[in-house]
Chain A
Amino acid sequence: MNKAVVVRDLTKKFGTFTAVNKLNFEVDKGEVFGFLGANGAGKTTAIKILCGLSKPSSGQVTVAGFDAYKQSELIKKNIGYMSQRFSLYDDLTIAENIRFYGGIYGLKRVEIQSKIKEYVKKLNLEEFEGRKVIDLPLGIKQKLAFSVANVHNPAIIFLDEPTSGVDPITRRQFWDMIYLEAAHGKTIFVTTHYMDEAEYCDRITIMVDGKIEALDSPSKLKKEFNTQNISEIFLKLSRKQNTSQN
């Protein structure tokens, strides 16, 4: 099986409001997939469904080979999730956080112990060992959160604005980490408000008003919309939508 995510005619309604309208896309294994859209375009709703947190109203959704209707518990076991707003417990130390998340996903004590050593070494956390997460610089915190989301070696990692507010150098180091995982066959599903980061993805979708309005590799999309960067595509799409509404 080479598809990490398969979505066919996915629709989610809240009462009469259609938050997500007939989405169709597939994500390959090992792909870095960018999920873009304005606030309120339906991104969050769609991600919740893909993470097994919410059930679709209609359509077919398979994540890591599991069905979103019947196997949401299995989906949860096979994905990792990291968001800017919440990921690590500020008042726990680095090791305690890793132990906690490792425990949730049923890792053995020995495995957790070796993960702690691995992460401390990989992220150069020696000087911070034993300190609470709240005392870490934001960039390091975000890198650690990414590693923790990866602690149970999931097939897919969902990253919700992982680099928000991070300094430009750390932001790029973060993307190096993403590439490294993708090279190991991990599928990365990422949202961001930095348009240059959109270009780092293998393929991106842009959602407008619950629908996918663009889906392709960044370079092909730029040709298709005849623009210099992704940001302009974004503006074009939203203006088009505004004029069609008025």
Chain B
Amino acid sequence: MKTAIEIENLAHNYGLVKALKPLNMSIESGTLFGFIGPDGAGKTTLFRILTSLLLPTQGKAKVLGLDVVNDFRKLRPLLGYMPGRFSLYQDLTVEENLNFFAKLFKTSIEENYHLIKDIYDQIAPFKNRLAGKLSGGMKQKLALSCALIHKPDLLFLDEPTTGVDVVSRAEFWEMLRKLKNHGITIVVSTPYMDEAALCDKVALIQKGKILQTDSPQNIMENFSKPLFSVKSINRNSLSKDIETFGKTDSFYWFGDSIHWIGSDDKDADLLRIYLQQKKHEDLEIEKINASIEDCFMDLMKGNHE
């Protein structure tokens, strides 16, 4: 399999702030790759270096076989890039924006229409509306259409789903899966942990450091600590009581239940007895598989400096 991105000892500092700590990794072409991490983890910095917009402080990166520093002229036309904030011309209409970006890349809407058809069809009824007046979900679709109009070999999407509702987010990922089938390598970043499962491969990133890189399935399966879901009708006192239970590695709320990690499986039985003594009725404790968020939080704890 061909390599789309090759990163060697890459790092970036803003003054004294280490935005990106030395990093080695590669991304295979044809994959849907996700950088998963909170704001300020270094995702945008990494994307800007890989799109040749920012010079790295140290290290090397090759994108599509081209060096991001020296070969940036050859590289740029091959990339599609959708920056984190909405960066289209708000005072141009939907169609004018798309036309502009097509001309910018010396192509036409017709030439690559097959690529954007699914996406653009949804906003086509509003093609004469100013881009600034579109709703969030539609802006996002227009931005994606504009980034795709020149049929890039590699697409960088920086937090395309941030601040977008669940429904639009689901639709957006659906579109990305279809695009992948056109043979485009897609690199996407997101702060939403649940979206990791939709990628072929992910890198969990925090405080400028990659915590782990693998397929989401492998990451979840390799979580070795005993993880239990704890549910009780008496929600308010549940976390307080778990706090006073001695043998706890960590516990976090996940919606209506607490994800509890002990040192081994037997601790869970002790926890059950302890909580029953504390008069928790309808207590449900069951062993569960880790989600990406469980893994991320566990890795985060080891990344304090």
Contact = CB atoms under 8 A, between A and B. Distances in A.
Query: How big is chain A's contact interface, by range?
Result: 20 to 34
B193 interface: yes
Contact of B256 (A84, A139, A168, A199): A199
Nearest to A222: B256
Given A40-B136, A196-B254, A200-B253, A167 B38 contact: yes
Given A37-B165, A39-B136, A194-B192, A165 B38 contact: yes
B54 to A, nearest CB: 19
Given A199-B255, A238-B167, A138 B40 contact: yes
B39 interface: yes
Given A40-B137, A138-B40, A235-B170, A169 B297 contact: yes
Interface centre among B37, B137, B166, B252 (most CB of A within 10 A): B166
Given A39-B165, A235-B166, A235-B167, A138 B38 contact: yes
A135 B164 CA distance: 27
Given A38-B166, A165-B39, 13 more contacts: A38-B165, A139-B38, A165-B191, A167-B37, A168-B38, A168-B296, A169-B252, A169-B300, A172-B252, A196-B255, A231-B166, A235-B166, A238-B167
The 10 A-B residue pairs with the shortest CB-CB distance in the complex, in nearest-first order: A165-B39, A167-B38, A199-B255, A39-B136, A38-B165, A40-B135, A196-B255, A238-B167, A165-B191, A199-B256
25 contacts: A37-B165, A38-B165, A38-B167, A39-B163, A39-B165, A39-B168, A165-B40, A165-B162, A166-B38, A168-B193, A168-B293, A168-B296, A169-B297, A169-B301, A193-B163, A193-B166, A193-B169, A193-B192, A195-B166, A195-B255, A199-B256, A218-B256, A231-B166, A234-B165, A234-B167
